[in-house]
Amino acid sequence: MQNIISGLNQAHENDSGEERKLIGDRGDYFLNRMQGETGVDISACYQCERCTNACPVSHFMDIKPHQAIRYVQLGWREDLIKSSTIWICLSCEMCTTYCPYEVEVAEIFNHLRNMAAHSSITPKEKSLAVFHQTFLEVLQKSGRVNEFRLMNTYYLKPDILHERIKNKTLKEDLLLGITLLRKGRLKLFTPKSKAIKEIKRVYSQTRGEIV
C-alpha cells in the first residue's frame, strides 16, 4: 500500500500546479478502450503486486508494473505515456505468466508503447524508443536486419550520437564494433529479402499512408 501511495504522490509532483487528480474523475473511457483493444480484462487486477515482484527491471521503472495497471484503471493515460516504465519493459513476460488473474501486463505495456510511439509526447527513455524505431527503419529498407547497418544507423542518429559523446561511451562502442567485425560477428553485407516492396508497402500503410 505504501508503494501505491508514494507512486501516486510522484504522479502529482509531475504535473506541478495542476489540481490533484481525483480517483475516478475520468470515468472509465480509457480503461474500456484499453480492454477493448488488448482483449485483456484489466479490471480484474486486484493489486497483488505479483507482476512487480516477478519483473526483473521494476527498480529501473518510475511507475511499477502493478501501479501502471492501476493507472490504466484510473484513466491516467498521459502519466503512462510519459513514463520510463513502458520503454524499460523488456517484454520478458514474467508479469503475464505469474498474474493470478491473467492480466496480460506485458501486452498492456506493449500497447502503451504503441500509443506512445504515435503520440506527440517525447518518450522518457528516448534512446530505447529510438532503437526500436531504427530497427524498423532498417528492416523496411532491406526486408531483413543486418546488425552492422542497424548499429551504424542507430549510433548516427543525432540524439544518440550526442548522448554517446556526452557519456564518453562512443570510443568503447567503436572498439566493440571493431572487435565484432574482426571476429566475423558483424557482417558488412548480408542478403536482402526480395520482398522489400511488399514490406515497404505494409510499413507505409501502418504509418497511415494510403498506398
Partner 1 sequence: MRLSFYPGCSLEGMASDYARSIDAVFRNLGIDLVEIEDWSCCGATAAHSISQTMSVLLPARNLAAAEKMGLDLVSPCAMCFNRLRFSQNMIKKKVFDIPWPVTGNVRVHDMTRFLAEPPMIKSIKERILRPLNGLRVVCYYGCQMVRPPKITGYTDYENPQTIDRIAAAAGAQVIDWSYKATCCGASIGIARREIGESLTRRILQKAQQAGAEAIVVSCPLCQSNLDMIQKDRSKRHTPVFYFTEMLRLSFEEHGDPKWFKMHFTDPVPLLRAKGLLS
Q: Which three cell numbers stand for residue 31?
A: 480503461
Phi, psi of 95 (to 5 degrees): -55, -50
Establish if 114 lies at the interface with ligand SF4 (CB under 6 A).
no
What CA–CA distances, in Å, run from 200 to 34, 133, 151, 205, 206?
28, 15, 21, 8, 10
**Shortest Å distance, C-beta 97 to ligand SF4:** 8
Return the residue of 12, 32, 90, 176 that touches ligand SF4, per CB under 6 A.
90
- Of 7, 103, 129, the closest CA to residue 48 belongs to 103
Write out the residues near partner 1 by the rule CB under 8 A: 56-57, 60, 88, 90-94, 96-97, 104, 106, 110-111, 113-114, 117, 125, 127-128, 130-133, 135-136, 139, 143-148, 151, 154, 169, 176, 179-180, 183-187, 190-191, 193-195, 198-199, 201-203, 205-207
Residues in the chain: 211
Q: State yes or no: residue 57 binds ligand SF4 (CB under 6 A).
A: yes
Q: Is 66 in the site for ligand SF4 (CB under 6 A)?
A: yes
Half-sphere exposure of 15 (CA within 13 A, CB side): 13
Q: What residues make contact with ligand SF4 under the rule CB under 6 A?
A: 45-51, 54-57, 65-66, 69, 89-95, 99-101, 103, 105-106, 109
